[in-house]
């Protein structure tokens, strides 16, 4: 039975009953309810417990400002922690649970902390738990276990998300009266308009009020406006869409909630969509938040914002109380009294702190026979898990707010609901996020937008306009101004007619005095979620935390899931009081995205899982897979690591692959090498500056091993480069460095040397590269119909030419990374698999063996070739690598100057050496540090480290490559590899070239 | 008044009315022996150690805003010392040792929580780098170990250790003594302790000029007037180049926005710190229950403390890659700071060509962990007018000699 549900009225559908559960009990609500309205309809007031003191808490608000009604929805992989009951739309089967309270939210053992609250004042944890030191981890565990709200899911998210980009002329945040009016004004002009509102229905406060616009019910006006907008193709309406971030250059992010309100579903459509909007103009019309009043025990369930009470009555057909007291310092709450009376509740009194009372509305209220007590305040509430009564007292401000109220003056009024209103605060969040300033209005008693840095304007209650006609007018003007800015035709839309009323101004009342001083009276809460009270702010000021940011951080004010939407302004005003300064001087803390919490998944979009960073595969990948290759991740690529024969392990496979290559022929897919095509009249000039060697002296058709340095003179990347024409070069880079080298070259070309006429094209994916290496590699190519001579005389080592191989056009390079006679074949990627298969077929006669990256590493290590990124780390000069011969002396190149710095010339730099374990059996882990003194104690001086290490199949014993202090001069000496277990393995220093030092085989 | 459980009790009984100010709010004097510019953690720590270790008393910390409001308030609070190069490791390890006794030393609970830091490896090269760093750490006397995917799975159940992940996790390094601390408390604790030793902490006091005569510092101009000083130590993080400019110096520093964000508070789901270079994400859970997540650096230069949303998207893609079950959690609040990045990803704690002028900067994305050690070493440098052996390798002249300590290679994400 929905005991608080009204017989009629509201925007819910009473014929569509929805079953739901809260804390295990079954309830019913109606379609159109939020979880909060459904709970209130069922008379459920106690929703949760507070963060620190475990005080019973109920629903306070009706939207994003709600601090208390934070629940966990559902269970399993799709569970949602920390949901705001006021924002969760009810659906059949919804299952919600309170987040605090053990064993139950009604009986919570933790609530004893409330008794000790005076020892748990702001920042208490900074002052204790220090000794003995060991116990801190124990205390910390207690703190952690008691902190936090909801439970994270433990399984992967079953839903998916997407991103959409949009451009528009006018983006309107908020579809209340101001936002709708702005949209109407803009729609006719043909401008591209996006209007977004976080709620399920457009209309904003109009859905909760009983006003009339153009002589029709406000809700009818809303329906009409939506209808009009729907007829404009240039208008995109986004309900359930929160504008949560405002970044530079009018870049605005919107989270559209697509499926959460549908309940159980199969996760086959997008759950949430992130709109990334670049808008020419932004109109901010998000309305205002009502402020609570601050008095003792103002946190009891049954104490609600007056506007929220009106919302529940008018929009949801729920009357949250039978005997109600209204407490306000402004006129707006009188509407709540009228709404309650109309709903059949008994309004026991309207307590107005102002001696003057209200304007027109007071008469309306009094005409219903409701008592209005002006010059009074509610100073305390009674009750336990729900409010039972309020204590009121006479009140007047003569100069200053009285420090305390006399106890004998207190009058108790029984009630089950207290509707309060401390005035309104514009939602300046997005304006502030945009970089706009806000100032304190002494007239309106709130922060209002003041000056923008981006193309945006605020309108309506978000701009401090409280009256409906002001909101409509501001919306209209903002809409027209935006259109004018876009250079489009302005419509002659007129301002709708509304009835104005006389109001009295608000009386600033930031803290209601109590019978005792704030330190001793029952808690007067500022931030409900974090249990921050007036006494906490006072203590912070007393302890010298005076800046608003310090106070926020010391007291946790505004740090909750509501981000202080409810309590911050009161907190700042109380801070101002204790500092003895005007609020304007105190200022606010910074408003940061997200406006309301936004799912990680939404921000990440579709770029997760296998799409996180799509795998790059070569054109021959399928063949490798079919051959049973094991793969290694290199950059974004998957490369064959080794090709096990049967159940061979890595070592066995590598040994076989290496020996076959040295003996007959091996074949490797080297397609992942970065490839850059360089053309243009200044190609030589450009490459001379990039590479260290004499590029200009290269003959067409020749290849060279090239290195490039960073500005610091350290080796950056390497690769073979070839001169294909007078003004045409082809560069290769390391697999991992491909993208960064390309950007590096473009950076220089575009920003430093724009005068050079050079064009760079990445051809990494265009060509696949197949490397065949080994003494019979030449015969192999001849066996597949090579149309040119491959003899050393015609096609010498380090040269390139075009050719056809089994009728496919290819480019051949006579280069070798294994030390054997070898050819690299570039072929259009479409033909790569065909060519590979042809080679494999023909290769049967030569015992051809495919090999992977591991064998490639071993073969090159035996030959003493460097791998950039493995053997170097950004701190290695060419000289350290025995590459001084590559530094052309008669030209300048990047990094050259740095090579003359004293540190680059030091004799004891770490230099490139080979190492052989003295016992000729131990394979040392790559990365192991080298030391000289095995008896030294920490910090043990290190003289280098092992960068590559293998059990060499060719040599029959382990070898390693290392960077060793002064290594160039140390051949034959002994150093130690320091193992994880503390042992030190003696290693003999050798040349890094272990195999064919004269290079005869590759030149063959 | 000493902070202790007993005093908490006593003051609680008296309704907390007797707690004194944590630090005074004095008017600036006309002269100080040493002026520290910048009231972040590093500046406050410098003042504290100048007073404590070197007996100086007439010291001021000048802060243009509120103390601890710069990067100190904006960072993700990861504290570790497992750097690759000996020079860096020993400096950060000094800091680590100070962290271990800091709450008691300052009599302020900075909530230093040694919950361990895992640096994940996703490729064979990552694992080589980890082996190299762990090997170096061990020899330098730091705690360091390598853990397997199986161990990771047990230690961090939410982590995606599946071999079918886009970048499968092959292992990780673990420093158990590493962890996180409460950033605000670090600033406040140092402020309170420094104040107790007589240091004047002056907020809302922006330094607008550095005065010199005969290549020697004589004082500073500030928004609150002119103040003379024998020595001036500048510790202003992202604004180091601006201050250097006031003294006619140029620093090899680039200022970039760096963003971070938190989730809503949750019950404990992650009781350690996880960092991954390969997928560019790192995450821990605060005592309050928020997941604290750092993004990568924004590529452009600026002082705006505003980054771009694309960076946040990338960070979350990485986090969901590592923790697929975090996808439904929600981003509560995001912000940016301005980090001062040196070419070698290491700091500058140094004398300058101007006598009596000292700079401490270049901590970039990873200086919070160094707060006590940086202050300690900088105090030594200022008091003795020469660097301590721990910070000698981090002098300004290394950019001229080329003796860089390049931490990029080993720790691309250097938090
Ligand atoms: C998002 C983010 C995440 C980070 N994560 C980590 C992490 O996990 N671990 C880690 O170790 N480090 C991290 N860092 C880096 C770390 O925050 C900084 O290196 C460190 O806090 C710097 O401390 P500081 O005291 O030097 O700087 P700050 O705290 O920035 O202090 C400098 C102070 O100087 C003041 N100032 C500037 N100009 C003037 C002037 N003209 N006059 C007077 N005062 C001035 C500023 O207002 C500021 O208060 C992160 C940084 C950011 C931005």
Q: Find out whether the beta carbon of B239 lies less than 6 Å from any atom of ligand 1.
A: yes
Taking contacts as CB-CB distances below 8 angstroms, the residues of chain A near B267 are 145, 148-152
Q: Give CA–CA dist A872/A882, Å, rounded.
A: 13
B242 CB near a chain A CB, below 8 Å?
no
Binding-face residues of A in 921-940 toward B, CB within 8 A? 925-929, 931, 938-940
Residue B131: closest C-alpha in chain A: A927
pLDDT the model gives residue A112: 86
Query: Which B positions 192-231 lie with beta carbon below 8 A of chain A?
Result: 203
Of B78, B110, B237, B374, the residue with max ligand 1 atoms within 8 A of its CB, to mutate for a pocket test, comes to: B237
Residue B234: per-residue pLDDT: 98
Determine the distance separating the centroid of ligand 1 and the alpha carbon of B70, expressed in angstroms: 5
Of B183, B239, B190, which is closest to residue B376 (Cα–Cα)? B190
DSSP secondary structure code for residue A454 in this structure: S
Taking alpha carbons only, the member of B119, B102, B114, B111 closest to residue B271 is B114
Pick from B16, B25, B264: which is nearest to A561 by CB? B264
Closest CA to A299 of A59, A553, A554, A41: A59
Q: Which atom of ligand 1 is nearest to the CA of B295?
A: 1
- Closest Cα partner for A149 from B133, B53, B241, B329? B329
The answer to whether the CB of B71 is under 6 A from ligand 1 is: yes
Q: How far is Cα of residue B148 from the mean position of the Cα atoms in its chain?
A: 29
Q: Give kind and range of the element (H or E) at residue A723.
A: strand A715-725
Q: How many CA atoms lie within 13 A of A307 on its CB side?
A: 26
Contact A239, A126 (CB under 8 A): no
How distant is the Cα of A540 from the closest Cα of chain B, in angstroms?
9
Which residues in chain B have Cβ-Cβ distances shorter than 8 Å to A147?
265, 287-289
Q: For residue B32, list its beta bridge partners.
A: B229
Q: What is the rounded CA–CA span in Å between residue A368 and residue B202?
A: 59
CA proximity to A122, closest of A512, A741, A555: A555
pLDDT mean over A596-605: 98
The predicted structure's pLDDT at residue A561:
94
Q: What is the pLDDT of residue B414?
A: 47
Residue A719's nearest CA partner among A882, A870, A618, A867 is A867
CA of A472 to the centre of ligand 1 (A): 45
CA separation for the pair A13, A202 (Å, rounded): 17
Chain A residues closer than 8 Å to B134 by CB:
927, 980
Test A77 with B135 for CB contact under 8 angstroms: no
**DSSP SS3 for B286:** coil
Cα separation, A78 vs A271, whole angstroms = 11
**Strands, DSSP E only, in A814-909?**
822-828, 849-850
Chain B partners of A544 at a C-beta cutoff of 8 Å? Answer: 21-25
Report the distance separating Cα A645 and Cα A651, nearest Å.
12
Q: How far away, in angstroms, is B274 Cα from ligand 1 center?
A: 22
Ligand 1 centroid from CA B62, angstroms: 14
Does the pLDDT at position A430 exceed 50? yes
Share of chain A above pLDDT 70, in %: 100
The answer to whether B6 contacts chain A (CB < 8 Å) is no
A882 phi and psi angles, rounded to 5 deg = 65, 30
B179 lines ligand 1 (CB under 6 A): no
Q: Across chain A, what does the average pLDDT equal? A: 96
Could you tell me the two tokens for A390?
Answer: 């309020």
Count of CA atoms in the C-beta half-sphere (13 A) of A860: 16
Q: Give yes or no for residue A773 having a pLDDT over 70.
A: yes
B412 touches chain A (CB under 8 A): no
| Beta carbons of B175 and B89 less than 8 angstroms apart | no
Crossing angle of helices A306-314/A332-342, nearest 10°? 40
- Predicted confidence (pLDDT) per residue in A455-472, tens digit: 999 999 999 999 999 999
Q: Closest approach of chain A CAs to the CA of B5, in angstroms?
A: 5
Which among A130, A433, A713, A964 is the top mutation candidate for probing chain B, defined by the most B β-carbons within 10 Å of its own β-carbon?
A: A130
Contact (CB<8Å) B131/A926 = yes
Q: How many Cβ pairs within 8 Å bridge chains A and B?
A: 335
Which tokens hold the place of A40? 């209130």
Domains and CATH numbers, chain A: 160-286+468-485 (3.50.50.60), 674-762 (3.30.70.1400), 767-847 (3.30.1360.120), 894-1003 (2.40.30.110)
pLDDT at A842 over 60: yes
- How many CB atoms lie under 10 A from the CB of residue B267? 18
| pLDDT per position as a tens digit, A231-262 | 999 999 999 999 999 999 999 999 999 999 99
Q: Show the 3-state SS of B82-137.
A: CCCCHHHHHHHHHHHHHHHCHHHHHCCCCCCECCCEEEEECCHHHHHHHHHHHHHH
pLDDT digits over A25-49, tens only? 999 999 999 999 999 999 999 999 9
User: How many angstroms separate the alpha carbon of residue B238 from the centre of ligand 1?
Assistant: 7
Check pocket membership of B69 for ligand 1, CB cut-off 6 A. yes
pTM, whole model, 2 decimals? Answer: 0.96
Interface with chain A: mutation pick from B285, B332, B336, highest number of A CBs within 10 Å: B332
pLDDT at B412: 41
CB contact under 8 A, A126 and B109: yes
Indicate whether residue B183 lines ligand 1 (CB < 6 A): no
* Both structure tokens of A268: 């086959």
A603 interfacial to chain B (CB closer than 8 Å): yes
Nearest to B258 by CA among B309, B207, B296, B284: B296
Query: Best residue in B9, B130, B267 to probe A by mutation, most A CBs within 10 Å?
Result: B267
Q: pLDDT 10s per residue in chain B (415 long)?
A: 999 999 999 999 999 999 999 999 999 999 999 999 999 999 999 999 999 999 999 999 999 999 999 999 999 999 999 999 999 999 999 999 999 999 999 999 999 999 999 999 999 999 999 999 999 999 999 999 999 999 999 999 999 999 999 999 999 999 999 999 999 999 999 999 999 999 999 999 999 999 999 999 999 999 999 999 999 999 999 999 999 999 999 999 999 999 999 999 999 999 999 999 888 889 999 999 999 999 889 999 999 889 999 999 999 999 999 999 999 999 999 999 999 999 999 999 999 999 999 999 999 999 999 999 999 999 999 999 999 999 999 999 999 999 999 888 554 444 5
- d(CA A196, CA A175) in angstroms, rounded, equals 7
pLDDT at A397: 87
Q: Residue A426: CB partners within 8 Å, gap ≥ 6?
A: A287, A288, A446, A447, A448, A449, A458, A461, A462, A463, A464
What CA–CA distances, in Å, run from A753 to A688, A716, A749, A890, A897?
13, 20, 5, 20, 18
Quick check: A225 and A184 in contact, CB under 8 A? Answer: yes
Q: Which among B66, B129, B160 has CB closest to A549? A: B66
Ligand 1 lined by B369 (C-beta under 6 Å): yes
Banded model confidence at residue A131, pLDDT cuts 50, 70, 90: confident
Residue with tokens 């053997």: A871
The answer to whether the CB of A539 falls within 8 A of the CB of A515 is no
User: In testing the pocket of ligand 1, which one of B42, B46, B67, B71 has its CB within 8 Å of the most ligand atoms?
Assistant: B71
| pLDDT recorded at residue B411 | 47
- What separation in Å is there between the alpha carbon of A389 and the centre of ligand 1? 51
In B138-197, the residues whose Cβ lies within 8 Å of chain A are 138-141, 146, 157-158, 160, 166-168, 182, 184-185, 188-189
**Of the candidate ranges A150-159, A485-494, A803-812, B169-178, the one whose mean pLDDT is the lowest:** A485-494
Residue B41 CA, distance from chain mean position: 7
Structural tokens at position A777: 């590699």
Find which of A520, A552, A600, A983 to mutate to test the B interface (most B CBs within 10 Å of its CB). A600
* pLDDT score recorded for residue B410: 52
A800 phi, psi to nearest 5 deg: -140, 150
- Is B256 touching ligand 1 by the criterion CB < 6 Å? no
Q: What is the 3-state secondary structure (H, E, C) of A626-688?
A: HCCCEEEEECCEEEEEECCCCCCCHHHHHHHHHHHHHHCCEEEECCCCEEEEEECCCHHHHHH
pLDDT of A103 above 90: no
Residue A673 clears pLDDT 50, i.e. is over it: yes
Best of B174, B265, B301 to substitute, by most chain A Cβ atoms within 10 angstroms, is B265
Which residues of chain A from 90 to 119 reach within 8 Å of chain B, CB to CB? 116, 118-119
Query: DSSP alpha helices (H): ranges in A94-155?
Result: 136-146
Of ligand 1's atoms, which has the minimum distance to the CA of residue B363?
Answer: 19
Ligand 1: which residue has its CA nearest to atom 4? B75
Residue A189 DSSP one-character state: T
CB of A599 closer than 8 Å to CB of A161: yes
**Do the Cβ atoms of B265 and A130 come within 8 Å?**
no
Short-list A985, A894, A934, A517, CA closest to A695: A894
Pocket test for ligand 1, best of B83, B210, B367, B370 (most atoms within 8 A of CB): B367
For Cα atoms A73, A78, A80, give the angle at the middle one, nearest 5 degrees.
35
Considering only CB atoms, B125 lies closest to which of A143, A151, A870, namely A870
Mutation choice for ligand 1 from B83, B183, B284, B365, CB with most ligand atoms inside 8 A: B365
Give me the interface pTM, i.e. the ipTM. 0.97
The residue ranges of DSSP E strands in A432-477, in sequence order, are 438-441, 446-449, 456-458
Give A273-319 pLDDT, tens digit per residue.
Answer: 999 999 999 999 999 999 999 999 999 999 999 999 999 999 999 99
| CB A767 within 8 Å of CB A674 | no
Cα B40 to ligand 1 centroid, rounded to whole Å: 6
Instruction: Give the contacts of A905 (CB within 8 A, at least 6 positions apart).
Output: none
Q: Is the CB of B181 under 6 A from ligand 1?
A: no
């Amino acid at each position: 039975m929905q005991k608080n549900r009204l017989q009629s009225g509201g925007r819910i559908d009473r014929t569509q009953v929805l079953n739901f559960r809260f804390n295990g009990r079954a309830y019913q609500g109606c379609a159109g309810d939020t979880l909060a309205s459904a709970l209130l309809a069922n008379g459920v007031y106690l929703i949760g417990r507070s963060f620190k003191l475990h005080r019973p808490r109920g629903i306070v608000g009706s939207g994003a400002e709600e601090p208390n009604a934070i629940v966990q929805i559902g269970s399993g992989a799709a569970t949602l922690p920390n949901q705001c009951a006021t924002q969760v739309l009810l659906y059949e089967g919804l299952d919600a649970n309170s987040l605090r309270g053990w064993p139950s939210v009604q009986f919570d053992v933790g609530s004893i902390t409330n008794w000790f609250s005076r020892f748990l004042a702001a920042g208490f944890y900074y002052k204790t738990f220090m000794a003995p030191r060991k116990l801190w981890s124990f205390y910390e565990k207690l703190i952690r276990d008691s902190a936090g709200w909801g439970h994270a899911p433990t399984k992967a998210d079953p839903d998916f998300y997407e991103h959409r980009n949009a451009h528009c002329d006018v983006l309107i945040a908020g579809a209340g009266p101001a936002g709708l009016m702005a949209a109407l004004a803009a729609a006719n002009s043909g401008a591209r308009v996006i209007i977004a509102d976080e709620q399920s229905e457009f209309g904003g406060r109009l859905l909760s009020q009983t006003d009339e616009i153009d002589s029709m019910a406000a809700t009818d006006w809303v329906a009409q406006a939506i209808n009009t907008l729907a007829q404009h193709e240039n208008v995109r309406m986004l309900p359930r869409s929160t504008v949560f971030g405002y970044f530079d250059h009018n870049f605005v992010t919107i989270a559209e909630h697509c499926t959460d309100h549908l309940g159980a579903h199969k996760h086959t459509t997008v759950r949430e969509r992130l709109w990334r909007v670049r808008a020419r103009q932004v109109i901010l019309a998000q309305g205002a938040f009502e402020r609570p009043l601050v008095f003792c025990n103002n946190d009891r369930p049954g104490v609600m914002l007056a506007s929220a009470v009106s919302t529940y009555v008018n929009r949801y057909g729920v009357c949250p109380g039978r005997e109600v007291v209204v407490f306000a310092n402004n006129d707006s709450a009188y509407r709540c009294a009228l709404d309650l009376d109309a709903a059949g509740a008994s309004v026991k009194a309207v307590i107005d702190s102002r001696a003057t009372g209200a304007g027109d509305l007071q008469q309306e209220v009094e005409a219903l026979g409701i008592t209005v007590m002006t010059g009074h305040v509610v100073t305390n509430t009674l009750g336990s898990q729900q409010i039972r009564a309020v204590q009121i007292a006479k009140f007047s401000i003569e100069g200053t707010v009285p420090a305390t109220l006399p106890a004998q003056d207190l009058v108790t009024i029984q009630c089950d609901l207290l509707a309060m209103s401390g005035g309104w605060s514009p939602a300046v969040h997005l304006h502030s996020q945009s970089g706009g300033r806000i100032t304190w209005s002494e007239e309106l008693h709130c922060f209002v937008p003041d000056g923008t840095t981006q193309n945006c304007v605020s309108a309506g209650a978000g701009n401090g306009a409280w009256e409906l006609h002001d909101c409509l007018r501001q919306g209209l003007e903002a809409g027209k101004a935006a259109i004018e800015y876009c250079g489009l035709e302005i419509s002659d839309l007129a301002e709708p007619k509304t009835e104005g009323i006389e109001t009295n101004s608000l009386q600033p009342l930031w803290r209601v005095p109590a019978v005792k001083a704030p330190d001793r009276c029952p808690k007067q809460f500022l931030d409900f979620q974090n249990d921050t009270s007036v006494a906490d702010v006072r203590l912070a000021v007393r302890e010298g935390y005076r800046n608003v940011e310090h106070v926020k951080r010391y007291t946790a004010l505004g740090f909750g899931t509501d981000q202080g939407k409810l309590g911050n302004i009161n907190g700042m005003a109380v801070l101002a009081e204790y500092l003895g300064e005007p609020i304007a001087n105190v200022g606010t803390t910074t408003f940061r995205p997200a406006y309301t919490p936004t799912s990680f998944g939404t921000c990440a979009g579709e770029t997760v899982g296998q799409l996180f960073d799509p795998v790059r595969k070569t054109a021959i990948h399928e063949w490798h897979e079919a051959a049973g290759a094991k793969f290694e991740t290199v950059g974004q690529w998957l490369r064959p690591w080794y090709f096990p024969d049967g159940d061979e392990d890595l070592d066995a496979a590598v040994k076989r692959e290496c020996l076959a290559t040295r003996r007959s022929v091996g074949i490797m897919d080297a397609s992942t090498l970065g490839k850059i095509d360089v053309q243009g009249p200044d190609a030589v000039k450009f490459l001379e500056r990039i590479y260290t060697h004499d590029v200009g002296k290269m003959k067409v058709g020749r290849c060279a091993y090239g290195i490039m340095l960073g500005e610091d003179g350290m080796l950056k990347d390497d690769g073979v480069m070839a001169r294909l024409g007078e003004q045409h070069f082809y560069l290769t880079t390391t697999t991992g460095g491909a993208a960064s080298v390309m950007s590096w070259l473009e950076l220089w070309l575009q920003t430093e040397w724009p005068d050079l006429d050079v064009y760079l094209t990445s051809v990494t994916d265009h060509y696949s590269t197949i490397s065949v290496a080994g003494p019979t590699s030449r015969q192999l190519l001849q066996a597949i119909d090579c149309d040119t001579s491959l003899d050393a005389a015609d096609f010498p080592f380090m040269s390139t030419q075009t050719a056809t191989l089994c009728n496919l056009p290819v480019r051949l390079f006579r280069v070798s990374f294994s030390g054997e006679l070898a050819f690299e074949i570039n072929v259009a990627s479409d033909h790569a698999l065909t060519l590979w298969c042809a080679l494999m077929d023909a290769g049967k006669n030569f015992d051809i063996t495919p090999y992977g990256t591991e064998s490639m590493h071993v073969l090159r290590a035996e030959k003493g070739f460097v791998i950039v990124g493995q053997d170097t780390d950004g701190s290695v000069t060419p000289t350290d690598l025995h590459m001084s011969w590559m530094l052309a002396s008669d030209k300048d190149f990047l990094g050259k100057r740095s090579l003359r710095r004293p540190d680059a010339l030091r004799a004891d730099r770490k230099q490139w050496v080979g190492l052989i374990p003295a016992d000729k059996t131990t394979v040392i882990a790559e990365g192991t540090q080298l030391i000289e003194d095995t008896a030294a104690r920490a910090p043990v001086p290190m003289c280098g480290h092992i960068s590559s290490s293998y059990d060499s199949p060719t040599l029959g014993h382990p070898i390693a490559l290392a960077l060793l202090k002064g290594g160039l001069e140390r051949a034959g000496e002994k150093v130690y590899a320091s193992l994880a277990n503390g042992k030190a393995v003696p290693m003999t220093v050798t040349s890094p070239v272990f195999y064919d030092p004269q290079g005869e085989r590759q030149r063959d | 008044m000493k902070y202790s459980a007993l005093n908490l009790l006593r003051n609680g009984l008296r309704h907390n009315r007797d707690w004194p100010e944590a630090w005074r709010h004095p008017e600036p004097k006309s002269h100080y022996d040493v002026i520290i510019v910048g009231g972040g953690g590093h500046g406050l720590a410098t003042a504290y150690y100048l007073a404590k270790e070197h007996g100086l008393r007439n010291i001021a910390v000048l802060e243009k805003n509120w103390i601890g409001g710069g990067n100190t308030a904006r960072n993700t609070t990861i504290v570790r010392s497992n750097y690759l190069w000996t020079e860096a490791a020993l400096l950060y390890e000094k800091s680590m040792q100070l962290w271990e006794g800091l709450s008691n030393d300052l009599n302020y609970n900075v909530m230093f929580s040694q919950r361990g830091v895992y640096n994940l490896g996703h490729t064979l090269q990552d694992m080589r780098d980890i082996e190299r760093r762990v090997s170096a750490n061990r020899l330098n006397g730091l705690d360091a170990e390598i853990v397997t995917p199986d161990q990771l799975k047990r230690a961090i159940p939410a982590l995606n250790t599946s071999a079918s992940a886009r970048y499968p996790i092959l292992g990780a390094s673990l420093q158990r003594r590493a962890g996180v601390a409460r950033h605000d408390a670090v600033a406040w604790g140092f402020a309170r302790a420094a104040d107790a030793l007589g240091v004047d902490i002056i907020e809302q006091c922006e330094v607008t000029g550095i005065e010199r005569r005969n290549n020697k510092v004589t004082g500073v101009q500030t928004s609150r007037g002119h103040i003379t000083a024998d020595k001036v130590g500048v510790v202003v993080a992202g604004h180091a180049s601006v201050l250097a400019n006031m003294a006619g110096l140029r620093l090899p520093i680039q200022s970039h926005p760096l963003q971070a964000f938190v989730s809503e508070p949750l019950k404990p789901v992650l009781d350690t710190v996880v960092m991954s270079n390969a997928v560019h994400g790192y995450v821990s859970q605060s005592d309050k229950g928020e997941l604290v997540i750092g993004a990568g650096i924004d590529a452009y230069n600026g002082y705006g403390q505003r980054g771009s949303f694309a960076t946040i998207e990338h960070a979350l893609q990485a986090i969901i890659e590592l923790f697929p079950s975090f996808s439904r959690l929600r981003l509560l609040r995001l912000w940016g700071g301005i980090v001062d990045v040196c070419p070698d990803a290491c700091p500058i704690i140094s004398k300058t060509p101007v006598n009596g002028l000292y700079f401490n900067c270049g901590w970039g994305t990873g200086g919070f962990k160094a707060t006590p050690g940086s202050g300690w070493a900088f105090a030594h440098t200022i008091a003795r007018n020469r660097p301590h052996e721990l910070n000698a390798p981090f002098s300004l002249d290394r950019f001229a000699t080329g003796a860089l300590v390049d931490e990029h290679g080993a720790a691309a994400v250097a938090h």
